[in-house]
Amino acid sequence: MIITDNVKYIGVNDHKVDLFEGQYIVPNGMAYNSYAVIDEKIAIMDTVDSTFADEWLNNIKNALGDRKPDYLVIQHMEPDHSSSICHFVNAYPDAKIVSSAKAFTMMKNFYEIDSDEKIVVSEGSTLSLGGRELSFVGAPMVHWPEVIVTYDNKDKILFSADGFGKFGALDVEEDWACEARRYYFGIVGKFGNNVQSLLKKASALEINIICPLHGPVLKENLGYYIDLYNTWSGYQPEEEGVVIAYTSIYGNTKKAVMKLRDELVAKGCPKVVVNDLARCDMAEAVEDAFRYSKIVLATTTYNGEIFPFMREFINHLTERNFTNRTVGFMENGTWAPMATKVMKGMLEKSKNLQYTETNVKLLSAMNDENIKEIDSLAEELCS
């Protein structure tokens, strides 16, 4: 893939992976992106997962012909981007590695690489390739502390590391926003303030192309992608709507949830999403919680606490700084219902949450009083 006359794509597609980072379902695989910036000198931007090292080295050779790279720029040390460094060093021993000080420490820890052939860069550092200059921008905790991103001043390219990445291999066509959103909130979502800082730095640059380490190269309508990242990293709802996240043991809580769904639809709620936390992709449920403006948490009291899948879900939300949302509760308990109290307690550290005045309290199964509560809760959520 030719990105510009002097920048070529040399990454790989992985259709063998079933769980990215050991937890995220990736039915359409993953792309591990790498790029060759070709000038008087040549810089290779990042490596790929070592499983694909041979394919990647062949891609470099095909892109460069008889030439050899002068530099390997490592922006991010996660193994899916760095674990072919040793293969590169063996193939091109005269090339210099360019990275941050923290990355070189990690390089030694991961791969016992402590080469003298290295260039340490930080915020504001530059690297001349001849007709173009690469500028380095610190991006700590987007989403590891060693991360740098790189700007090519000639072709106006931002090599954005994990920023603007998405799940999915590049040989599969799919909607960008859905899998980029799931990727963002799953992997980067905790570090919204750091992403905001990086967006502020990027706003001072003239950017024509964004080259991430996962997902497609972005060349058109960049404002759309940047605006979404600004919304996501600012923890603002992307759309008006209600997510109902629930667990149900014998089906009674589920019946009340479906009643609430029907009432919301009947009252004109613009979007209603229902997630059964015991069966859905948890990362999809987390994505929905951050996408929409309101959420109802519905679960049973379980061992004096709450059902395990709900606990896991709320933990995912709070560790990603869940905020700026309206939250309602539905609890079920045959004796000593505690679920609403426990859920509220788990959300205590979350900022700027508005709780509904109406909550639903089931005592084993839905009754006429619960139907009135559900109608009232739906009315409040739709107001």
Q: Which of 233, 261, 282 marks a domain boundary?
A: 233
Q: Judge whether residue 88 has pLDDT over 90.
A: yes
Q: Count CB atoms within 10 A of the CB of residue 230.
A: 15
- Across-strand partners of 306? 301
Q: How confident is the model at residue 254 (pLDDT cuts 50, 70, 90)?
A: very high
Residue 109's pLDDT is: 95
Same domain (yes/no): 225, 244: no
Q: Judge whether residue 116 has pLDDT over 80.
A: no
What angle do helix axes 252-266 and 368-382 make, rounded to 10 degrees? Answer: 40
Same domain (yes/no): 37, 123: yes
> What is the distance, to the nearest Å, from the Cα of residue 164 to the centroid of all Cα atoms in its chain?
8
> Is 376 in contact with 358 (CB distance < 8 Å)?
yes
Residues 82 and 80: their CA atoms lie apart, in Å, by 6
Q: Judge whether residue 139 has pLDDT over 80.
A: yes
Domain around 203: 2-233
Burial class (CB in 10 A: 0-12, 13-18, 19+), 135: middle
Q: Judge whether residue 70 has pLDDT over 90.
A: yes
> Is 32 in contact with 48 (CB distance < 8 Å)?
yes
Mean pLDDT confidence for 142-151: 96
Q: What is the DSSP letter of 188?
A: I
Mean pLDDT confidence for 93-113: 95
Same domain (yes/no): 215, 321: no
> Is 244 in contact with 257 (CB distance < 8 Å)?
yes
Which pLDDT tens digit goes with each residue over 211-238? 999 999 999 999 999 999 999 999 999 9
Q: Judge whether residue 54 has pLDDT over 90.
A: yes
Mean pLDDT confidence for 247-261: 97
Mean pLDDT confidence for 74-103: 96
Q: How confident is the model at residue 143 (pLDDT cuts 50, 70, 90)?
A: confident
Q: Which of 208, 233, 258 marks a domain boundary?
A: 233
Buried b (16+ CB within 10 A) or exposed e, 248-276: beeebbbebbbbbbebbeeeebebbbbbe
Buried b (16+ CB within 10 A) or exposed e, 307-317: bebbbebbebb
Same domain (yes/no): 105, 211: yes
| Distance spanning both ends of the chain, measured CA to CA | 50
Which pLDDT tens digit goes with each residue over 269-308? 999 999 999 999 999 999 999 999 999 999 999 999 999 9
pLDDT > 70 fraction of the chain, expressed in percent and rounded: 100
Which pLDDT tens digit goes with each residue over 161-172? 999 999 999 999
Residues 209 and 75: their CA atoms lie apart, in Å, by 17
Same domain (yes/no): 166, 26: yes
Q: How confident is the model at residue 115 (pLDDT cuts 50, 70, 90)?
A: confident
Same domain (yes/no): 36, 182: yes
Cis peptide before 143 (omega within 30 of 0): yes
Residue 1's pLDDT is: 85
Same domain (yes/no): 43, 138: yes
One-character DSSP codes across 47-108:
---GGGHHHHHHHHHHHHTT---SEEE----SHHHHTTHHHHHHH-TTPEEEE-HHHHHHHH
Same domain (yes/no): 162, 40: yes
Pairing outcome for strands 272-276 and 239-246: parallel
Angle at 169 between CA 164 and CA 175, to 5 degrees: 60
Residues 157 and 160: their CA atoms lie apart, in Å, by 9
Residue 180's pLDDT is: 98
> What's 142's domain CATH number?
3.60.15.10
> Is 74 in contact with 98 (CB distance < 8 Å)?
yes
How many domains does the chain divide into?
2
Residue 114's pLDDT is: 80
Q: Which of 217, 233, 249 marks a domain boundary?
A: 233
Residue 113's pLDDT is: 86
Greatest alpha-carbon pair distance for the chain in Å reads 79
Residue 330's pLDDT is: 98
Q: Judge whether residue 4 has pLDDT over 80.
A: yes
Residue 291's pLDDT is: 98
Same domain (yes/no): 252, 140: no
Residue 344's pLDDT is: 97
Angle at 260 between CA 255 and CA 264, to 5 degrees: 150
Side chain identity, residue 208: N
Residue 100's pLDDT is: 97
Residues 175 and 172: their CA atoms lie apart, in Å, by 10
> Is 233 in contact with 179 (CB distance < 8 Å)?
no
**Helix/strand/coil percentages in the chain, nearest 5:** 35, 25, 40
Same domain (yes/no): 221, 249: no
Same domain (yes/no): 207, 252: no
Mean pLDDT, the chain, integer? 96
Q: Judge whether residue 125 has pLDDT over 90.
A: yes
